């Protein structure tokens, strides 16, 4: 039986949601004793109950700060690799990908890397972006296979010099049926606007706040999330029509989605945009920036609403123009798009095929 080690330097946000779908399905496929998951000890509560209760071997490491945590991460990874003796090491996101690929010399196991959004797509950090591009070009042949979660990511990989034989496009998927749960109480005649994600520069929550400024009569806005990577300078006191609910578990996020009129995803860049398909599964209309994987998910506006990124005026105008009829039609198209394209079963089968293909070489 194949032994699989998932390696994560952080599981807050999209990576954690991805693993919460993938790991339980892989436990059912391979058996809990065959899978280990390396995660920060302080972030275990960001994993969903279905992961924690699946029987998968959880291997935590201390991460009090990102810099100090990186050294702990490397030490625990090397120890785990030696003791668990995986056949496949599956690294998630940039830091884990750098460590797993960089420390793979003389290896007798296969390496799979999933970037979950290329760091070279960062905005506002030119030298970091150029450094990330240099690293990716240097490591382009250090993984047996790179799994790309969107066509946008796949194109960026080719731009970075990855050869086609090392690339596998496996579009992200989630279970067809959302977990049961009630809708949150949100009684309001105004348009109910929800944001759910990290309060980091990438995710553009500041763009949404600029867009809804002065719209107390028309909009009721709720923010779900918190700062993770970096802090934006948000107002010390939010306007009366904007409520910050903080970080909620997935059930809490779904409760808010079931009550809102529209989910807004105002990202500056995005490899995929898992929160968008979670909303579409529930029949919730999505309004998102026309960037990366979000643009792809929404079919350039065919299955949702797209607006230019970092354009509060365009976002405000589109929100204020929405009618109930618009929302119903968008919700129906988005739900149909989800059912036809973003199946978890398909994703698990395709990832299993990637493992089988590299192990057979």
Q: What are phi and psi of 199, to 5 degrees?
A: -90, 50
Lowest mean pLDDT across 26-35, 137-146, 189-198, 270-279: 137-146
Share of the chain above pLDDT 90, in %: 75
- Between 361 and 261, where is the model more confident? 261
- How would you class 251 by CB atoms within 10 Å of its CB: exposed for 0-12, middle for 13-18, buried for 19 or more? middle
Average pLDDT over residues 104-126: 84
pLDDT single digits (tens) 318-335: 999 999 999 999 999 999
Output the pLDDT for position 245. 96
pLDDT at 45 over 60: yes
What is the C-alpha radius of gyration for the chain, rounded to an integer number of angstroms? 20
Per the document, the length of the chain is 361
More confident position, 233 or 74: 74
User: Is it the case that residue 255 has pLDDT exceeding 60?
Assistant: yes
Q: Is the pLDDT of residue 119 over 80?
A: no
Query: In whole angstroms, what is the distance from residue 269 CA to residue 130 CA?
Result: 16
Mean pLDDT of 72-82: 95
Angle at 221 between CA 219 and CA 225, to 5 degrees: 165
Q: How far apart, in whole angstroms, are the C-alpha atoms of residue 47 and residue 8?
A: 12
pLDDT for 179: 85
For residue 166, pLDDT beyond 90:
yes
The answer for residues whose C-beta is within 8 angstroms of residue 159's C-beta and 6 or more apart is none
Average pLDDT over residues 213-241: 86
230 pLDDT above the threshold of 70: no
pLDDT computed for residue 34 by the predictor: 97
Q: pLDDT-based confidence at 126, cuts 50/70/90?
A: low
pLDDT higher than threshold 90 for residue 67: no
> In this predicted structure, what is the pLDDT of residue 116?
92
Whole-prediction pTM: 0.87
Residue 120 confidence (pLDDT): 72
Separation between Cα atoms, residue 358 and residue 80, nearest integer Å: 22
Domains of the chain and any CATH numbers: 4-176+343-360 (3.40.50.2000), 191-341 (3.40.50.2000)
């Amino acid at each position: 039986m194949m032994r699989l080690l998932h390696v994560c330097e952080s599981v807050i946000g999209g990576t954690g949601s991805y693993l919460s779908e993938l790991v339980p399905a892989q436990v059912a496929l391979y058996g809990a004793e065959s899978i280990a998951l390396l995660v920060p000890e302080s972030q275990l509560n960001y994993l969903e109950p279905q992961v924690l209760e699946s029987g998968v071997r959880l291997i935590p490491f201390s991460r009090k700060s990102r810099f100090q945590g990186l050294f702990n991460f490397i030490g625990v990874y090397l120890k785990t690799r030696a003791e668990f003796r995986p056949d496949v090491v599956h690294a998630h996101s940039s830091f884990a990908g750098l460590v797993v690929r960089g420390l793979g010399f003389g290896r007798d196991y296969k390496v799979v890397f999933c970037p979950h959004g290329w760091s070279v797509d960062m905005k506002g950090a030119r030298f970091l972006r150029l450094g990330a591009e240099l690293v990716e070009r240097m490591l382009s042949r250090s993984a047996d296979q790179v799994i790309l979660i969107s066509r946008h990511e796949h194109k960026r990989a080719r731009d970075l010099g990855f050869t086609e034989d090392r690339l596998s496009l496996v579009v992200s998927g989630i279970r067809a049926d959302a977990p049961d749960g009630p809708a949150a109480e949100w009684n309001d005649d105004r348009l109910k606007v929800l944001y759910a994600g990290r309060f980091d520069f990438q995710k553009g929550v500041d763009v949404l706040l600029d867009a809804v400024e002065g719209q107390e009569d028309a909009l009721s806005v709720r923010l779900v999330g918190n700062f993770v990577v970096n802090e934006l300078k948000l107002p010390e006191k939010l306007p009366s029509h904007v409520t910050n609910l903080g970080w909620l578990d997935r059930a809490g996020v779904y409760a808010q989605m079931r009550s809102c009129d529209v989910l807004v995803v105002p990202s500056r860049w995005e490899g995929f945009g898992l929160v968008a398909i979670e909303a579409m599964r529930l029949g919730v209309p999505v309004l998102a920036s026309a960037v990366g994987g979000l643009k792809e998910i929404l079919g350039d506006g065919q299955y949702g609403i797209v607006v230019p990124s970092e354009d509060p005026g365009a976002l405000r105008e589109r929100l204020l123009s929405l009618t109930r009829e618009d929302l119903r039609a968008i919700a129906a198209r988005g739900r149909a798009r989800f059912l036809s394209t973003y199946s978890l079963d398909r994703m698990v089968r395709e990832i299993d095929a990637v493992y089988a293909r590299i192990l057979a070489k």
